[in-house]
Amino acid sequence: MPECLTVKQLWFVFLKSIVSMNQNCFVMRKLITEFIGTFFLVVVIGMVVIGGKGDFAPLAIGSVLMCMIFAGAHVSGAHYNPAVTLAVLLRGRISLKEAGAYMIVQIIGAIASASVVNFLMPGKMPDVASAMVSTSSSVVAEILGTFALAYVVLNVATAKGTTGNMFYGLSIGFTVLSMAYAFGSISGGAFNPAVAVGISIMRLAEWSQFWVYLVGCFGGAALAALVFRINNPEDK
């Protein structure tokens, strides 16, 4: 009898280790997806802005975000943005531990992309970053833009009423495109702390004004999560 119990216990430990291994692999796949999506988003931002694409830049940025969302949403949820991750956390669709890992990987992706842009366009990065005309206006612009983005994400990608829809990537991409055209000339139109890290490294924004993106992006995301919970009290 003891031998039989021992065999059962070993079998249980083996199965538990397999389940744990699969869970760890799934988390790793999520983090890899978040890295890839954030990386290409920030790469495109750097290449089109430094490359002088002007008024066409938001179109490219919104398009690559849309494509990366369609590519990775089934794996990680396709946040590619610490502010969006915060909104999803406050909405209750991701754990605190996983949200922290997402944010770290997103920042790493932005840093890596800035290095790639610098390699591909040597000497073309600005010598000095342009300062914001008004930090107060920029904070408001980032709050509004990020609120719109997070609000759309929560409603099209996490709400029960839109489960299984096929338009979420298009909606999110076009929201970023629209907000970039609306507020880009005021704050730079980051709406994403990871993007803010990338553009600061590429000297498209001043590090001394980085706080504007932290306050604006996380503030707008938190507000969007609050509004979503108020409007959808039954959607847990």
Enter the CATH code of domain 2-231. 1.20.1080.10
Q: What per-residue confidence (pLDDT) applies to 39? A: 98
pLDDT tens digit sequence for 109-151: 999 999 999 999 988 888 888 889 899 999 999 999 999 999 9
pLDDT at 1 over 70: no
Question: Average pLDDT of 160-171?
Answer: 88
Judged by phi (left if over 0) then psi (alpha if -120 to 50, else beta), residue 134 lies in beta
**Structure confidence at residue 189 as a pLDDT band (50, 70, 90):** very high
pLDDT at 24 over 80: no
Question: Average pLDDT of 86-95?
Answer: 96
Question: Average pLDDT of 164-182?
Answer: 94
Average pLDDT of the chain? Answer: 91
> Tokens 């946040």 sit at which residue?
79
Tell which wins on pLDDT, 160 or 166.
Answer: 160
Tokens of 93: 């669709």
In angstroms, the CA 217 to CA 140 distance is: 10
Question: Average pLDDT of 90-98?
Answer: 94
pLDDT at 2 over 50: no
> DSSP secondary-structure letter at 132?
P
Check if the beta carbon of residue 30 is closer than 8 Å to that of residue 76: yes
> DSSP secondary-structure letter at 24?
H
Tokens of 80: 């590619």
> Tokens 């979420």 sit at which residue?
168
Residue type, 37: G
